[in-house]
């Protein structure tokens, strides 16, 4: 990942990420991660009148797209930074990814999580060898805890969504989907803090500028939509079953990219997320987590504008779901 120069900051102080950065991120990642498949979905295509494909990031190492950004960040660390260790914050997917990546590089990792986070995701993070701090009561408080521990520990922060390296790494999803579907018309991406959609939008816009990009958030976790409406990041109290999207605010760096490159950010209900999770499990045989079903939820709910026979790619972002949550959703209303 290149060092961002001062003259590359926008008027709000945010840094830019380019297609070249995304391509360099893929080089930094190398062969250490999977190239995830892009499936056609006949049923979704018949239901919606579009040519629908699913970018299956739930098959990535650790069960989500997150290692892409992690390995890009770790590749940029100095020897001294590696010796001091890294720190991150996450409801689960970034935590497991950072723990996994740090183990590959023999780097000490500390993850700030919070009370009420998925026990399955906490244990997965510990299983990769990371330490976990659970002092916070929720995601907002956890970011305050992160700031304290970063200073106290001297560790380097690997941000879950807002660093240029994270955005560039997540953008490799976009490189792959355009290579797999060169004439894609619409790309639909779930949003938490915005790292995935900012990276994907950067890559897709660079390779296929005529494609439209739609972001999806839960109604109960709408940090990006709130930031777009307010003109700046605002704190929210996210409580969606799609815990992978429960960011308490949008990023200072992700927001300007979304504002510039994303055509719309739509909201889905908890019921629509649950219905899409059941659909993907039963009809596409994809055991995704609720966050991973958000893009499909938006399409099934008629919230993704498209023309007849247009090519639509839905990013299925992850598959790490607690057993109890999965059972409750699959059992239906």
Name the residues annotated as catalytic. 66, 317
Query: Roughly what angle, to the nearest 10 degrees, separates helices 19-29 and 67-75?
Result: 90
Tokens of 206: 């660079």
What is the SS3 assignment for 109?
strand
Mapped onto helix, strand or coil, the DSSP state of residue 43 is helix
Helix (H) or strand (E) run with residue 207 in it: helix 195-207
Backbone angles phi, psi at 322, to 5 degrees: -65, 145
**Radius of gyration from C-alpha coordinates of the chain:** 18
In a 10 Å sphere around its CB, with 0-12 CB exposed, 13-18 middle and 19+ buried, how is residue 314 labelled?
Answer: buried
Asked whether the beta carbons of 218 and 240 are under 8 A apart, the reply is: yes
What are residue 56's DSSP bridge partners?
316
Residue with tokens 């907002």: 140
């Amino acid at each position: 990942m290149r060092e961002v120069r001062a003259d590359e900051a926008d008027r709000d102080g945010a840094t830019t990420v380019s297609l070249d950065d995304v391509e360099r991120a893929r080089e930094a990642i190398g062969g250490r991660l999977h190239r995830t498949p892009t499936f056609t979905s006949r049923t979704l295509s018949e239901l919606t009148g579009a040519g629908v494909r699913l970018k299956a990031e739930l098959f990535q190492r650790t069960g989500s797209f997150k290692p892409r950004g992690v390995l890009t960040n770790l590749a940029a660390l100095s020897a001294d930074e590696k010796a001091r260790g890294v720190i991150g914050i996450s409801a689960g997917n970034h935590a497991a990814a950072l723990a996994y990546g740090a183990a590959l590089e023999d780097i000490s990792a500390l993850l700030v999580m919070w009370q009420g986070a998925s026990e399955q995701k906490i244990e997965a993070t510990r299983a990769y060898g990371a330490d976990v701090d659970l002092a916070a009561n929720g995601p907002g408080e956890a970011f305050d805890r992160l700031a304290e521990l970063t200073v106290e520990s001297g560790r380097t922060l690997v941000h879950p969504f807002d660093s240029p390296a994270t955005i560039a790494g997540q953008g490799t999803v976009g490189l792959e989907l355009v290579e797999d579907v060169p004439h894609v018309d619409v790309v639909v991406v779930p949003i938490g803090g915005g790292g995935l959609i900012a990276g994907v939008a950067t890559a897709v816009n660079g390779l296929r500028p005529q494609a439209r990009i739609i972001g999806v958030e839960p109604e109960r976790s709408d940090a990006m939509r709130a930031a777009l409406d307010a003109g700046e990041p605002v704190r929210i109290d996210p409580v969606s079953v799609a815990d992978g999207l429960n960011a308490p605010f949008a990023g200072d760096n992700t927001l300007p990219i979304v504002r510039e490159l994303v055509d719309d950010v739509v909201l889905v209900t908890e019921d629509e997320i649950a219905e899409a999770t059941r659909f993907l499990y039963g009809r596409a045989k994809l055991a995704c987590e609720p966050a991973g079903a958000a893009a499909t939820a938006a399409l099934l709910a008629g919230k993704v504008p498209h023309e007849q026979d247009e090519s639509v790619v839905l990013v299925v972002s992850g598959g790490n779901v607690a057993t109890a949550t999965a059972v409750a959703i699959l059992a239906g209303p």
